[in-house]
């Protein structure tokens, strides 16, 4: 993999875009994946105005076939990803006593199953090269659940579990899997500013073999 390609799934104006900018500054070609085509195209314009190289690939994390199609397009048009960042989540305030099972299912579908689908699209090429990085956006609710965000908390806990099991599965293949567990509300101009958190994604990616942490809890 001579060409450095970073795919960010679930790009928005916060963490997703900040992570794309961080990897873009390191010379990565960026492949942005999200539902809204207009927003994606604007992110590409903004990144390219900053001198970075970016491409847009619309897909919905709740509809796996669109994710598979997006990765097929990325590989054909840009190349095999060397870094995958999965940042998609289903966020809807609900207490567990009144949580519709359909919403819990959707939270797991977007936050966990979508993450696995995307990881499975990049693993074969990473195995062939014996290198690659898969990073998931975690949440502090996985460690300390809050009843007002019961579906998000449960899905982030499951994503954290997936990170550890997938990482153990792929370690011998030279592929690192890790998560940034964000224990706070993301807000520009604070300790939880997107650009500060994005540094942790780069920190995980930059870890040398044999010294890799599976998780950074950002408090």
**Per-residue model confidence as pLDDT tens digits over 15-31:** 999 999 999 999 999 99
| Model pLDDT for residues 104-149, shown as the tens digit of each residue | 999 999 999 999 999 999 999 999 999 999 999 999 999 999 999 9
* Domains of the chain, CATH where assigned: 5-218 (3.40.50.720)
Question: What pTM did the predictor assign?
Answer: 0.97
Element of type H or E holding 9: strand 5-9
Give strand ranges (E) for the chain.
5-9, 29-34, 54-58, 83-86, 132-139, 175-182, 215-218
CB 190 within 8 A of CB 13: no
Q: Strand, helix or coil at 112?
A: helix
Instruction: Evaluate if residue 1 carries a pLDDT over 80.
Output: no
Two structure tokens written together for 81: 């990803």
Q: Give the residue ranges of DSSP H helices in 78-178.
A: 101-108, 114-129, 150-170
Q: Which two tokens stand for residue 65?
A: 């076939």
| Residue 21 near residue 52 (C-beta atoms within 8 A) | yes
């Amino acid at each position: 993999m001579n060409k450095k390609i970073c795919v960010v799934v679930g790009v928005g104006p916060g963490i997703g875009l900040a992570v794309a900018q961080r990897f873009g500054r390191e010379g990565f070609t960026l492949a942005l994946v999200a539902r809204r085509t207009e927003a994606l195209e604007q992110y590409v314009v903004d990144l390219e105005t900053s001198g970075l190289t970016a491409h847009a690939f619309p897909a919905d994390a709740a509809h796996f076939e669109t994710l598979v199609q997006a990765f097929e397009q990325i590989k054909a048009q840009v190349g095999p990803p060397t870094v995958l960042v999965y940042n998609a989540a289903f966020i809807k305030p609900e207490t567990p006593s009144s949580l519709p099972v359909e919403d819990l299912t959707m939270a797991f579908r977007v936050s966990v199953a979508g993450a696995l689908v995307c990881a499975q699209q990049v693993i074969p090429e990473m195995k062939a090269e014996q290198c690659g990085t898969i990073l998931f956006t975690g949440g502090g609710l996985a460690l300390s659940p809050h009843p007002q965000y019961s579906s998000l908390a449960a899905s982030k806990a499951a994503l954290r579990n997936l990170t550890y099991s997938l990482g153990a599965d792929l370690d011998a293949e030279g592929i690192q899997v890790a998560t940034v567990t964000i224990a706070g509300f993301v807000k520009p101009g604070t300790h939880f500013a997107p650009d500060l958190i994005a540094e942790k994604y780069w920190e995980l990616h930059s870890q040398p073999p044999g010294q890799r942490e599976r998780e950074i809890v950002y408090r």
